[in-house]
């Protein structure tokens, strides 16, 4: 048997394992900001709700980075395999108090897909009214 035919199954196996690394394990269906209309004096919480792709999927980390009026959320997800059923899941990340303005949210990372409606990834932080001291 020629050597190339013996290598074909190995090459196909390597190709398959390389393509399965880019699978999605956490599907984000909804992005919520709490409080609903935060002020620049409140801690902002962003909740990502959706589904894990199977019973062995998990989220290892969720972090937020604020640059100007952009909130970049990085999600790292993986899977040990399991039953192919959607498992409801919720992740939260806190940004702390933010200056007044309108912010956009972007989601990135590995093993995550953000098909949330386009109108959701934005929120406005209101300035708080100064109070007079007596």
* More confident position, 8 or 45: 45
pLDDT at position 10, please?
46
Residue 128: pLDDT band with limits 50, 70, 90: confident
- HEC profile for the chain? CCHHHHHHHHHHHHHHHHHHCCCCCEEEEEEEEECCCCECCCCEEEEEEEEECCCCEEEEEEEEEEECCEEEEEEEEEECCCCCCCEEEEEEEEEECCCCEEEEEEEEEECEECCCCCCCCEEEEECCCCCCCC
Alpha-carbon distance 123 to 95, whole Å? Answer: 13
What residues contact 9, with CB distance under 8 A and at least 6 apart? none
Do 76 and 59 contact (CB within 8 A), yes or no?
yes
pLDDT, residue 114, reads 84
Residues 13-57: tens digit of each pLDDT: 444 433 444 588 999 999 999 999 999 999 999 999 999 999 999
pLDDT of residue 62: 97
Higher-pLDDT residue of 42 and 1 is 42
In the prediction, which pLDDT does 115 show? 76
pLDDT in tens, 80-127: 989 999 999 999 999 999 999 999 999 999 999 987 667 678 999 999
- The pLDDT of residue 7: 46
């Amino acid at each position: 048997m020629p050597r190339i035919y013996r290598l074909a199954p190995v090459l196909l196996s390597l190709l398959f394992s390389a393509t399965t690394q880019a699978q999605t394990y956490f599907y984000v269906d909804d992005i919520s900001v709490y409080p609903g209309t935060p002020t620049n004096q409140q801690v902002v919480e962003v909740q990502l709700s959706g589904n894990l792709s199977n019973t062995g999927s998990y989220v290892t980390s969720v972090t937020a980075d604020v640059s100007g009026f952009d909130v970049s959320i990085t999600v790292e997800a993986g899977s040990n395999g399991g039953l192919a059923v959607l498992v409801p899941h919720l992740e939260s990340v806190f940004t702390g108090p933010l200056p007044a303005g309108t912010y956009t949210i972007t989601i990135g990372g590995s093993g995550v897909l953000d098909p949330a409606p386009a109108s959701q990834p934005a929120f406005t932080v209101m300035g708080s009214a100064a109070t007079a001291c007596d």
